[in-house]
């Protein structure tokens, strides 16, 4: 019983760690942060309150903007993406992204972003453009006139492409590229994987089709050391857009790693649970006091961790990931009171071997 209570307390604290800590540390303790990275946020629907898992209420969205402005965090223009990552490290920065191109974005959020000239990437799936409840090409062209707007590619069909063979994936993306070229004159350098799901094969197709950057939906903060074809984003919805959590997200930092094993995030059943190792960069202070949590066995719990050497962490995932996605989140409190944050997302396949 004692064990149970302690364990649930630990889980409670770590899940609410971010919120908890934001009360304890104020801005006055900030020092020695060498690289703030870029926090990227992912929104979908605006004031479509029937869909809480992909929606944000407008009053909360306005609060988010206010929090960002009050903390002197700058919105980066996607057209200067790499320059901001590499050459503006001492500034706190946000990249705003909106997926799917719903009409509610155009109707509710766009007028505000336009007036404030807040830069963003709108990722659209070409098959859905003009369909009921989605923006039309005329509307997309209208917003694309602004130099602070990037229209990113989000595939053609938005199906679970990661489960398909490479010919099918490639044909889908090539079709979306052709439509981008026809409707906008050019394809984007930016891609967003449908459902944030990718495999090594999918990543390689995106590279081969000349995209420069691709976003998933695992949590974390971007920095110049990240793989540009698996960039993290924080999903914001009604549950995760809650204001205290949002303020805590604003105090996250890049967690710099050299490599995460397994490299393949598409998890076949004969590799589930995965053997996870993370090799960090040198010089991360108090690295050994990090904590990791996973949803193995469909239940969030603290993971057993071991350092194999100074910078290499082994995370013991003992039960199979169940359901569509397996997640691991690791965090480490920096002396500034900010949190280094690192999320890994696996796509859980029901197959033993990929077709
Ligand atoms: Zn999407």
Q: What is the 215 CA–ligand 1 centroid distance (Å)? A: 11
Q: What is the 318 CA–ligand 1 centroid distance (Å)? A: 31
DSSP code string of 224-258: TTS-TTSB--EE--TTTT-HHHHHHHTTEEE--EE
Structurally, how many domains does the chain consist of? 2
The model carries a pTM of 0.90
- pLDDT at res. 32: 75
Nearest CA to 274 among 203, 345, 192?
Answer: 345
Q: What is the 224 CA–ligand 1 centroid distance (Å)? A: 25
Per-residue pLDDT reduced to its tens digit, 8-32: 433 433 444 444 444 444 444 456 7
CA-to-CA distance for 221 and 62, rounded, in angstroms?
A: 22
Q: What is the 247 CA–ligand 1 centroid distance (Å)? A: 25
More confident residue, 69 or 350: 69
Neighbours of ion ligand 1 (CB under 5 A): 99-100
Residue 354 lies in a domain: no
Last residue of a domain, one of 222, 251, 280: 251
CATH number of the domain residue 140 falls in: 3.20.20.370
Residue 154 lies in a domain: yes
Domain that holds residue 131: 5-20+34-251
Asked if residue 141 and residue 9 are part of one domain, the reply reads: yes
Query: What average pLDDT is seen over the chain?
Result: 91
Q: What is the 240 CA–ligand 1 centroid distance (Å)? A: 17
Average pLDDT over residues 245-255: 96
CA-to-CA distance for 187 and 190, rounded, in angstroms?
A: 9
- pLDDT at res. 195: 96
Q: What is the 99 CA–ligand 1 centroid distance (Å)? A: 5
Per-residue pLDDT reduced to its tens digit, 70-108: 999 999 999 999 999 999 999 999 999 999 999 999 999
Average pLDDT over residues 298-311: 95
Q: What is the 71 CA–ligand 1 centroid distance (Å)? A: 29
Q: What is the 323 CA–ligand 1 centroid distance (Å)? A: 19
pLDDT at 109 exceeding the cut of 50: yes
Element (H, E) at 260: strand 257-261
Q: What is the 154 CA–ligand 1 centroid distance (Å)? A: 7
Asked if residue 335 and residue 204 are part of one domain, the reply reads: no
Average pLDDT over residues 205-233: 97
């Amino acid at each position: 019983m004692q064990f149970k209570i302690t364990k649930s307390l630990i889980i409670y604290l770590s899940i609410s760690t971010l919120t908890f800590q934001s009360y304890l540390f104020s801005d006055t303790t900030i020092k020695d942060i060498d690289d703030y990275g870029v926090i990227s946020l992912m929104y979908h629907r605006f004031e479509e309150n029937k869909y809480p898992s992909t929606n944000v209420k407008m009053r909360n969205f306005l609060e988010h903007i206010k929090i960002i402005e009050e903390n002197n965090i700058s919105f980066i223009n996607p057209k200067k993406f790499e320059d901001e990552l590499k050459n503006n490290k001492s500034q706190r920065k946000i990249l705003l992204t909106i997926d799917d191109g719903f009409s509610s974005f155009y109707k509710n959020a766009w007028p505000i972003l336009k007036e404030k000239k807040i830069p963003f990437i709108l990722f659209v799936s070409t098959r859905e453009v003009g369909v009921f409840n989605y923006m039309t090409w005329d509307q997309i062209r209208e917003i694309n006139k602004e130099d602070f707007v990037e229209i990113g590619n989000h595939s053609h069909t938005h199906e679970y492409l990661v489960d398909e063979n490479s010919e099918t994936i490639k044909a889908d993306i090539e079709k979306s590229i052709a439509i981008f070229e026809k409707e906008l004159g050019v394809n984007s350098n930016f891609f967003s994987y449908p459902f944030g799901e990718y495999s090594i094969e999918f990543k390689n197709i995106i590279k081969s089709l000349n995209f420069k950057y691709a976003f998933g939906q695992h949590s974390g903060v971007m920095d110049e050391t990240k793989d540009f074809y698996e960039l993290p984003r924080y999903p914001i919805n009604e549950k995760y857009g809650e204001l205290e959590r949002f303020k805590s997200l604003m105090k996250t930092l890049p967690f710099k790693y050299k490599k995460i094993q397994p490299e393949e995030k598409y998890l076949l059943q004969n590799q589930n649970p995965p053997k996870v190792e993370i090799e960090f960069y040198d010089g991360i202070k108090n690295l050994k006091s990090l904590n990791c949590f996973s949803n193995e066995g469909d239940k969030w719990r603290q993971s057993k961790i071991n350092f194999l050497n100074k910078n290499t962490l082994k995370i013991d995932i003992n039960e199979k990931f169940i359901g569509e996605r397996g997640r691991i989140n690791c965090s480490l409190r920096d002396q500034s009171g900010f949190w280094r944050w690192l999320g890994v997302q696996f796509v859980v396949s029901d197959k033993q071997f990929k077709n």
